[in-house]
């Protein structure tokens, strides 16, 4: 008996997973460039308003702004990756059914 050719849902399908993860990585690379530019802009603004600051402060400012924006981009990207691939719809939410009843 031959197996049916039913496509696997969500990230279980290797082609869909490859596309989703490559898109996720390209978005993160774009956000890394943007957050580096934002960090440099903040450091330049502080330099312009307060005068010269030690180089270690500039490095810490850029790194802090970069890390903050990248953490937000990473978490939001993973949320959209999970939702966009249908991975969220595969979860059997028994708690909501018990709490809300059969309203769904």
Q: What is the DSSP string of 41-72?
A: HHHHHHHHHH----HHHHHHHHHHHHHHHHHH
Structural domain total, the chain: 1
76 is a domain residue:
yes
Q: What is the pLDDT of residue 90?
A: 64
More confident residue, 14 or 43: 43
Q: What is the pLDDT of residue 10?
A: 64
Per DSSP, the three-state class of 103 is coil
For 84-100, write each residue's pLDDT tens digit.
776 666 666 667 666 67
For 48-83, write each residue's pLDDT tens digit.
999 999 999 999 999 999 999 999 999 998 888 877
What residue numbers bound the domain in which 40 lies? Answer: 35-82
For 8-36, write each residue's pLDDT tens digit.
566 677 787 788 888 889 999 999 999 99
- What residue has token string 């939410």? 93
54 is a domain residue:
yes
């Amino acid at each position: 008996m031959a197996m049916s050719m039913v496509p696997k849902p969500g990230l279980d399908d290797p082609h869909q997973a490859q596309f989703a993860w490559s898109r996720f990585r390209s978005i993160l690379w774009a956000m890394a460039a943007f957050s580096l530019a934002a960090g440099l802009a903040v450091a330049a603004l502080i330099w312009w308003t307060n005068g010269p600051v030690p180089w270690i402060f500039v490095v810490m400012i850029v790194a802090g702004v970069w890390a903050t924006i990248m953490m937000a981009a990473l978490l939001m990207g993973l949320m959209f990756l999970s939702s966009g691939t249908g991975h969220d719809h595969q979860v059997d939410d028994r708690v909501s059914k018990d709490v809300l009843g059969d309203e769904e």
